[in-house]
Every structure is written in structure tokens, then in C-alpha cells.
Amino acid sequence: MSLTFAPTDANAIPLHVFDKGDFDVWLNAQSQTLRNWVSACGFTPAFGKSVLIPDETGTPVMALAGYGDETARARTRFPLAAIAASLPAGTYALANDLPDGDLETECLGWLLACYAFDRYTKKSGATARLVCPASVNAQQVEAIAAAEALTRDLINTPASDMGPADLETAARELAQAHNCRVTVTTGADLLAENFPMIHAVGRAAPASRAPRLIDMRWGQSGPSLTLVGKGVCFDTGGLNLKPGASMGLMKKDMGGAATVLGLAQMIMSLNLPLKLRVLIPAVENAVSGDSFRPGDILTSRQGMTVEINNTDAEGRLVLADALALASEENPDLLISMATLTGAARVAVGPDLAPFFTDDPAFSGALEQAATDVSDPVWRLPFWTPYDKMIEPGIADLDNAPAGGFGGAITAALFLRRFAAGQRYAHFDIYGWNPAPAPARPKGGVGMGARAILAALPRALNL
């Protein structure tokens, strides 16, 4: 699997990309022989379609590909990635400008079309390679593709090979590659260092899968950015046990951690001028005699008490302690990412990354960036009148308010209590692509990271 551009090659096959109107004009200007070949192959410039044009010896001398019409492109991202998947193995070079769309984003889509999760079986993505166009920053696009591949690999790896210790190993490997500083607080030390809710959620797991807080730092100057990622490596639901059908994808419940590690890799690879901190509470929500229980009241790092009304609402508990720690340093921007609620999926489906913030400047920068780089986000409200729904009376907060209304909002409001006073945004992502699409095979996928990356210069005045 190579998520890099092909070296410049004089023998690269010229690739002509068309929408319908442009194609008809171009084709009418070609030789009768070429027109006959195109007709015999039944080629039309539909979305993702392609055809090779041979010379008299049968050697391909050009490729034609369809970019689709505006309707097709609006329904599916990365039309160039769809073309990459339809072409046979070889090296290709764009021979004309794309009909529309951002060339750098489309070239990234081509690289991501080459991704396949091949740890356990032989598998490949697209085998066609692209020569990077001269106007595209190859180093930046390749760095983003590699970071997205890291996120996908982490999410796709089953919990048998991606427990809290394995997630720590992945963070340490990333840190070593970029000269980061890492500290990890594990097991009973979490109590000694005042991370009681991280400990409570993870304490039922065996010692080999003990809970931990991973703390990674990079950069010496510039504005400070702290990323907090939910690292629930498997979620049984705890004593509020999930039904089997709901447990099947719970290896992806560390998707927030995987996404912030991918985003961190992008930031470090591109050497953005900022101070970065990454916090990952890594746990397994297991079932044993030491499980935390419905009705328990936990005291958080911040001192607020939390009544446990559902042990399957554990992600917000581990994030709360990490957010409290992050807030102690007052970073210039604090972002949490988590596969947190089914309510968010009901609200916006699997393709959008909903986010919450009280900061209109960050929201504006993010929404524009998301459009620019084809990484869609959707703002949901921190609706303060719902605060009373997370106040049970017997404790300061309720981790799972009854009623079921506004579940993504009440979860976000819960987290906001622990980021009080900070410039804060929370992303409730899905982290999974349920059906294959161009550049996005079925399986783990990063959501929101590229939009955040593109928004940071404006959001932090870099």
C-alpha cells in the first residue's frame, strides 16, 4: 500500500478528465479511429468511469475518465478517487485541468483510494498511481494521507490487538517519530494522580488492559492547542450490558483517540508553529466483580460529583477527567473528539461530523475549511436550557439523563462543565464508513481532522 505520489515519469499515461459538456467538444475534435474506439468501449464521462486508448501496438497512450455532472459530484466526494479505483495498475499524469473542485483535495482523494486495511489478509486499494501535479504541495498531501491511514488502521484493528496498552504503544511510536514527550499514568496510579473517573471506568479490565491516561506534548512556541480523544478500546456497556448487535462495532469506540492521533501527526509532519498537547484516556469498559455500577456516585478530578445512571455512558466520564486536566493549563484552543452518542448518528447520519462550540470565530473558520477540503462538519448547539437535564439532584451531574431527548446535546453539555472557561469545541464523530465510497472504503475513517487542520491557521492566527 503506497499512499505517495508516483515519481515524475516521462512514460506516465496522460489522463484526460471530463464532464459531459467538455467531453463532447473534445471527442469531436479527435480522429475517427479514436472516436470509434471510444464508441466501441461504450465510454461516457459518467462519474468514475474510465477507458484506456491504445496505439496500433496495443500500448496505452492515454486514458479518458469521467468526472460526472454537478449532481453526481454533489452526492459523493472525491470524484478523482473514483477514477483512480477504476483504472488498471500504472502511472498516470493529469493532462488537463479538472472541471471543478480543489485539485489538492482531489489528489489527496486519489492517495486515499489506495488505502486498504491489510493487517490480517492480503488486500489492496486502487493500484493506479498518480504523478503529483506541479501546482500541488506533494509533501503536504502525502503527510495528510499518511495521518489518515494511521487513524484508519487504529480504528480497524480489533480490540484483541488494540487494547489500552496497544493504544499507548501507538502513541509512543508517533511520539518517537516526532520527538515528543510522553507520560502515561496507569492503573492504581490514576487514583494517586487524581483521575478517579478514568480509573472507575477501566478498573474492571484485567491488569494487562489496565486503564491509563496518555499525555503527549510537542512544540516549544506559538499558541497552545490541546486535543483530547476518547480511547475506549472496547465498550461492552459495562453492567448495563449492550446487546450483541450493538457490541459488534465497539472496537471503534476509540475512534476519537485515533482521530486526534492522526490530527497530531498531520500537525507535526507539517511543522505547524504551535504547542501541541494530546490527552487520551485509554480504557476498556469491561464487566467483572470490580465494575462500576448504576447508582454509584463518582467524584471527578474537578471535584464535581457524577451519578451513574448508565454504565454505557462511560465515554463522557473518562473525557471529563482529561478535560479537567487540560483546562488547568488554559490552552488557546481545546478540542475533544469522541465516538460519544448514538443520538448524533440519528441526528446527522454517519457522514457528517457534528461539533459543538460557543466560539463563533472557530465555528466560522471550521465550517469554511470543511467545505474547502471536503471534510464535512455540522454545528449542533450547546443548548444551555438543557443543562437542567444533566442535574439529578443527588449529585452535581447525571451521566445519562432519562427521557432520551437531545442525547448528543446533553452529552456535550456534560463535557462543557469540565472545560469551563476554555475556548472549547467538542466533536461527536462516528469514525466508521458503513458502505464503501471513493477514497473511503468500508471501515474506520477519520472525521473532522482535516477540517480542523485547515481551520487552525485562521483559528489560532498561525
pLDDT of residue 72: 85
Among 227, 419, 410, residue whose Cα is nearest residue 324: 419
How far is residue 172's CA from residue 186's CA, in Å, rounded to a whole number?
14
409 within domain boundaries = yes
137 belongs to a structural domain:
no
Same-domain pairing of 264 and 314 = yes
- Is residue 116 assigned to a domain? yes
For strands 432-433 and 443-444, give the pairing: antiparallel
Could you give the CA distance from residue 260 to residue 13 in angstroms, rounded to a whole number? 38
- For the question of residue 242 being annotated catalytic, the response is yes
Catalytic residue among 20, 217, 242, 458: 242
Q: Collect all residues with Cβ–Cβ distance below 8 Å to 254 and sequence separation of at least 6.
A: 154, 155, 162, 167, 229, 230, 231, 232, 233, 282, 339
Cell of 277: 498537547
Q: What is the pLDDT of residue 179?
A: 97
Of 105, 132, 159, the last residue of a domain is 132
Range 300-306, long-range pairs (CB < 8 A, 24+ positions): 300/196, 300/197, 300/324, 300/418, 301/194, 301/195, 301/196, 301/197, 301/325, 302/417, 302/418, 304/396, 304/397, 304/417, 304/418, 305/395, 305/396, 305/397, 306/197, 306/395, 306/396, 306/397, 306/398, 306/399
Is the same domain home to 81 and 189?
no
What residues make up the domain containing 198? 143-459
Amino acid 41 reads C
How far are the Cα atoms of 16, 44, 51, 56 from residue 40, in angstroms, in the given order? Answer: 18, 11, 11, 16
Q: Match 496500433 to its residue by C-alpha cell.
A: 56
Domain identity same for 113 and 164: no
Count each helix (H run) and each strand (E run) in the chain, helices first: 16, 19
Which CATH number covers residue 76? 3.40.220.10
Q: For the chain of 462 residues, list the mean pLDDT of each consecutive stretch of 10.
A: 87 93 91 95 94 95 93 89 96 91 93 97 95 96 98 98 98 98 98 98 98 98 98 98 96 98 98 98 98 98 97 98 98 98 96 97 97 97 97 95 93 97 97 97 98 98 95
**In angstroms, rounded to a whole number, what is the distance separating the alpha carbons of residues 421 and 433?**
34
For residues 63 and 92, the answer to whether their CB atoms sit within 8 Å is yes
**Phi, psi (deg, nearest 5) at residue 246:** -85, -15
Q: Note whether 81 and 147 are same-domain residues.
A: no
Same domain? 75 vs 206:
no
Q: Tell me, yes or no, whether 187 and 299 share the same domain.
A: yes
Among residues 301, 316, 440, 450, the one annotated as catalytic is: 316
Counted residue by residue, the chain has a size of: 462
Distance CA 26, CA 241 (A): 61
Tell me which H or E stretch contains 264.
Answer: helix 255-269
- Cα–Cα distance between 290 and 203 in angstroms, integer? 7
Which amino acid would we find at residue 57?
Answer: T
Both 344 and 311 in a single domain? Answer: yes
SS (H, E, C) 325-377: HHHCCCCCEEEEEECCCHHHHHHHCCCCEEEEECCHHHHHHHHHHHHHCCCCE
Residue 346 lies in a domain: yes
263 in a structural domain: yes
**Tally of structural domains, the chain:** 2
Q: What is the CATH number of the domain that holds 341?
A: 3.40.630.10
- Pair (274, 423) in one structural domain: yes
The CA distance from 359 to 460, in Å, is 12
Q: Where a domain ends, among 87, 103, 132?
A: 132
Assigned domain for 138 exists:
no
Catalytic annotation on 442? no
Look at residues 132, 157, 177 and tell me which one is the last residue of a structural domain.
132
Asked if residue 347 and residue 238 are part of one domain, the reply reads yes
* Of 398, 243, 411, 383, nearest in space to 319 by CA: 411
- Cβ atoms of residues 434 and 443 within 8 Å: no
> What's the one-letter identity of residue 269?
S
